C-alpha cells in the first residue's frame, strides 16, 4: 500500500504513488473522465478518474460521488501547472478508490447563501474555502502573539474562568450559579496576572472571556478570546513599545505564512505590509481636537452628528473609525478620561481627570483592538476606587493584598483575538473570525 500523505506536502511526491484521505469538495466531468477536487484539511488536490486506468467498479464509484463524501484515494502525483487546488500545480491520477461514507445532499452549495443560513450551518460552513482560510490565519495570529511573548521572556500563566467578582465593570457580568452562590464568567484575566507578575515578572494569560454585552455591532461577541500580557516595573510608554512590536510581528508572520489564505479571503496585502513600527501616539485631548476638526470640515449633517464629541465622552465606533482613518497604521490613543475607564487605572500625576490608559486603534475602520493601562499600585487609592464604584471590598481583598507586599508600578494590556483577525483578514464582521460565534441572539450550533 502506498504512503499516506497530506495534500500540503504533495509537491514532494511528484511521480510517486500516494494515498490521500479526505472529502469531495466538488466533482465535475463527463463520460470517461471525472475530476474530483479533494480536500483533506491541509489543502485541496484535483484527483482525476480516467475510466481506462481504473477498475470499472472504482470508476463507477467516482462518478457517483456527492459533495462532501469521504473517500480514500490511491494514485500517482503528476506535476501540472494548470491543476487547481491548494497549493495547486499537482494532480493525482487515480489508480483506485475507497468509499468511507457517501454524503447526503449537502446544504451548502457553491450558490450564494444568506449569513443567517450559513451561521446556522456553521458546523458545516467551517469546511468552506474562505472559512478554512480565516481560521488558519486565526491560528497563526495566536501562535505569533504567543511566540513573540515567549521569546521576550513572558511566562504563560493561566487564570480562572469562574471568578468571584467583576474584572472590568459590573454591567456586562455573566452570572453563574456556583453551588448556590453567585459567581461570574471571567471578563478578563488581568487581576490574576497582577498577582502573577510578583511571582514571575512578565506573564500573559490567554483564554476565553465573557461580556454580557447587549451590543449587536460587528465588533462585539459575548464570548471572545483575549491575550493579556502584564509586566512588573513597566510604564505606559514601555507598554506601547511592547504592543507595537508584537502587533507588527503578528502581521509580518501572517504575511509570511498565509499568502494563499489572504488571497482566498481577498485581502489587500499592501495595506498589511505598511504595518511596521513606530505607530503614531496621540493623547485623548488631541484625538478629541482632531475629531472636532473633522466634524467642522464636513457639510454632511449626518456625518456631523456622528462625529460630535465633547471632552470627557468615550469614543464610539464612528469616532474610532474616523481617528484611525487619519493613519495608515494602528494608532495609540492614551490618557483617556478617568471616568470612562476601569477602576484600576492609574490617574495621571497632577491631572487625575485623565488616566494612564492606552487603546490601540486599528486602521481601515476596525477600531479598538487593544486596551491597556498602568495599574494603580497604591493600596489606599485602589481601595477608594473599589468603594467608589460600589464593587464591594470583600471580593477584592486578595487584589488589595498585592498592594501591601512589594507593590510596584506595573502595566498590561489585552488584545482581542477576533478583532485582530477581522482587521488582518479585512472582514466586515467578527462572527467569521471565531469557529463558533456567541452573539447576542446566537448560541447555536
Ligand atoms: O478594553 P478591554 O475591555 O480591556 C480589558 O479587559 C483589560 N482587562 C485588558 C488588560 O489590560 N489586561 O478589552 C480588551 C480588548 C479590546 O480592545 C477588544 O479587542 C477585545 O478585548 N474586546 C472584545 N472583543 C470582542 N467582543 C467584545 N465584546 C469585546 N470586548 C473587548
Ligand atoms: Mg477597551
Q: What pLDDT is attached to residue 390?
A: 92
C-alpha to C-alpha distance for 207 and 185, rounded to whole angstroms: 12
Are domains 3-101 and 123-432 of this chain identical in fold?
no
- Which is nearest to 8 in space by CA: 48, 38, 44, 36? 44
To which residue does cell 487619519 refer? 326
Is the separation of the CB atoms in 392 and 165 below 8 Å?
yes
Residue 87, preceding peptide bond in cis (omega within 30° of 0): yes
CA of 416 to the centre of ligand 2 (A): 10
0.75 exceeded by pTM = yes
- Per-residue pLDDT at 235: 98
Cell 498577582 locates to 195
Could you tell me if 384 and 390 are in contact, meaning their C-beta atoms sit under 8 angstroms apart? no
CB neighbourhood size of 179 (10 A): 5
Rounded distance between C-alpha atoms, residue 348 and residue 334, angstroms:
11
Residue-wise pLDDT for 126-179, tens only, equals 999 999 999 999 999 999 999 999 999 999 999 999 999 999 989 999 999 999
- Widest distance between CA atoms in the chain: 86
Strand stretches in 31-152, DSSP E: 33-39, 44-50, 70-79, 85-101
Q: Is the CB of 188 under 6 A from ligand 1?
A: yes
Measured by CA distance, the residue closest to atom 17 of ligand 1 is: 370
Q: State the distance from the centre of ligand 2 to the C-alpha of 408, rounded, in angstroms.
A: 23
pLDDT of residue 192: 98
Reduce the DSSP state of residue 133 to 3 states and report it: helix
For ligand 1, the distance from its centroid to the CA atom of residue 18, given in whole angstroms, is 47
The C-alpha atoms of residue 413 and residue 318 are separated, in whole angstroms, by 23
Superfamily name with CATH number, domain 3-101: Nucleic acid-binding proteins (2.40.50.140)
- pLDDT on residue 349: 97
Per-residue pLDDT at 215: 86
Distance (angstroms) between ligand 1 centre and the Cα of 370 equals 7
Pocket of ligand 1 contains residue 132 by CB under 6 Å: no
pLDDT at 169: 87
Contacts of 320 (CB under 8 A, 6+ apart): 361, 367, 368
State the DSSP H helix or E strand holding residue 240, giving kind and residue range, or none if neither.
helix 236-257
Q: What are phi and psi of 345, to 5 degrees?
A: -85, 140
Q: Within 10 Å of residue 153's Cβ, how many Cβ atoms?
A: 9
Instruction: Give domain limits for the chain.
Output: 3-101, 123-432
Hey, whose CA ends up nearest to atom 18 of ligand 1? 416
| DSSP letters for 417-441 | HHHHHHHHHT-S-GGGSSSS--BTT
Distance set, CA 352 to CA 78, 150, 230 (Å): 70, 35, 23
**155 vs 149: CA distance, rounded Å:** 8
Q: Which residues are within 5 Å of ligand 2 (an ion), measured at CB?
A: 371
Ligand 1 and 91: CB distance under 6 A:
no
Could you report the per-residue pLDDT of 380-429, keeping only the tens digit for each? Answer: 999 999 999 999 999 999 999 999 999 999 999 999 999 999 999 999 99
Torsion, CA 73, CA 77, CA 83, CA 88, rounded to 10: 90
Per-residue pLDDT of the chain (445 residues; tens, 9 = 90+): 689 999 999 999 999 999 999 999 999 998 899 999 999 999 999 999 999 999 999 999 999 999 999 999 999 999 999 999 999 999 999 999 999 999 999 999 988 999 999 999 999 999 999 999 999 999 999 999 999 999 999 999 999 999 999 999 899 999 999 999 999 999 999 999 999 999 999 999 999 999 999 988 999 999 999 999 999 999 999 999 999 999 999 999 999 999 999 999 999 999 999 999 999 999 999 999 999 999 999 999 999 999 999 999 999 999 999 999 999 999 999 999 999 999 999 999 999 999 999 999 999 999 999 999 999 999 999 999 999 999 999 999 999 999 999 999 999 999 999 999 999 999 999 999 999 999 999 999 9
Q: Place domain 123-432 in its CATH homologous superfamily.
A: Bira Bifunctional Protein; Domain 2 (3.30.930.10)
Q: Bridge partners of 253? A: none
Q: Which atom number of ligand 1 is nearest to the Cα of residue 215?
A: 28
Q: What span, in angstroms and rounded, lies between the C-alpha atoms of 189 and 187?
A: 7
Whether ligand 1 lies within 6 angstroms of the CB of 414 is answered as yes
Residue among 189, 207, 201 at smallest CA distance from 146:
207
Average pLDDT across the chain, whole number: 97
Amino acid at each position: 500500500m502506498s504512503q499516506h500523505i497530506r495534500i500540503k506536502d504533495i509537491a514532494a511526491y511528484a511521480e510517486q504513488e500516494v494515498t490521500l484521505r479526505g472529502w469531495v469538495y466538488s466533482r465535475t466531468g463527463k463520460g470517461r473522465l471525472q475530476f474530483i477536487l479533494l480536500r483533506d484539511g491541509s489543502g485541496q488536490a484535483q484527483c482525476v478518474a480516467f475510466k481506462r486506468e481504473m477498475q470499472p467498479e472504482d470508476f463507477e464509484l467516482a462518478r457517483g460521488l456527492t459533495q462532501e463524501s469521504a473517500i480514500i484515494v490511491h494514485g500517482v502525483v503528476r506535476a501540472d501547472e494548470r491543476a487547481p487546488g491548494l497549493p495547486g500545480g499537482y494532480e493525482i491520477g487515480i489508480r483506485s478508490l475507497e468509499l468511507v461514507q457517501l454524503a447526503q445532499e449537502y446544504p451548502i452549495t457553491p450558490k450564494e447563501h444568506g449569513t443567517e443560513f450559513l451561521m446556522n450551518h456553521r458546523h458545516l460552513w467551517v469546511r468552506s474555502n474562505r472559512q478554512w482560510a480565516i481560521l488558519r490565519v486565526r491560528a497563526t495570529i495566536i501562535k505569533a502573539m504567543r511566540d513573540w511573548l515567549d521569546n521576550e521572556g513572558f511566562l504563560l500563566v493561566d487564570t480562572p474562568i469562574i471568578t468571584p467578582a467583576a474584572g472590568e465593570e459590573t454591567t456586562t457580568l455573566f452570572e453563574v450559579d456556583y453551588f448556590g452562590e453567585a459567581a461570574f464568567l471571567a471578563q478578563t484575566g488581568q487581576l490574576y496576572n497582577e498577582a502573577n507578575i510578583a511571582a514571575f515578572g512578565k506573564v500573559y494569560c490567554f483564554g476565553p472571556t465573557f461580556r454580557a454585552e447587549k451590543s449587536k455591532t460587528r465588533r462585539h461577541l459575548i464570548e471572545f478570546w483575549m491575550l493579556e500580557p502584564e509586566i512588573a516595573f513597566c510604564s505606559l510608554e514601555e507598554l506601547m513599545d511592547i504592543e507595537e512590536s508584537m502587533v507588527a510581528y503578528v502581521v509580518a508572520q501572517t504575511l509570511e505564512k498565509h499568502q494563499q489564505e489572504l488571497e482566498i479571503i481577498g485581502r489587500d496585502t499592501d495595506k498589511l505590509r505598511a504595518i511596521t513600527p513606530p505607530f503614531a501616539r496621540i493623547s485623548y485631548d488631541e484625538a478629541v481636537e482632531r475629531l472636532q476638526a473633522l466634524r467642522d470640515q464636513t457639510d454632511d449633517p449626518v456625518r456631523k452628528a456622528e462625529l460630535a464629541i465633547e471632552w470627557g465622552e468615550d469614543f464610539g465606533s464612528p469616532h474610532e473609525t474616523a481617528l484611525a482613518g487619519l493613519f495608515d497604521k494602528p494608532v495609540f490613543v492614551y490618557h483617556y478620561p478617568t471616568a470612562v475607564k476601569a477602576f484600576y487605572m492609574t490617574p495621571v500625576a497632577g491631572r487625575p481627570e485623565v488616566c494612564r490608559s492606552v487603546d490601540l486603534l486599528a486602521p481601515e475602520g476596525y477600531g479598538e483592538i487593544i486596551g491597556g493601562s498602568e495599574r494603580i499600585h497604591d493600596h489606599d487609592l485602589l481601595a477608594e476606587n473599589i468603594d467608589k464604584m460600589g464593587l464591594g471590598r470583600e471580593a477584592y481583598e486578595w487584589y488589595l493584598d498585592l498592594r501591601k507586599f512589594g507593590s510596584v508600578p506595573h502595566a498590561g494590556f489585552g488584545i482581542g483575538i477576533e478583532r485582530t483577525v477581522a482587521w488582518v483578514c479585512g472582514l466586515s464582521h467578527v462572527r467569521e473570525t471565531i469557529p463558533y460565534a456567541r452573539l447576542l441572539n446566537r448560541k447555536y450550533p
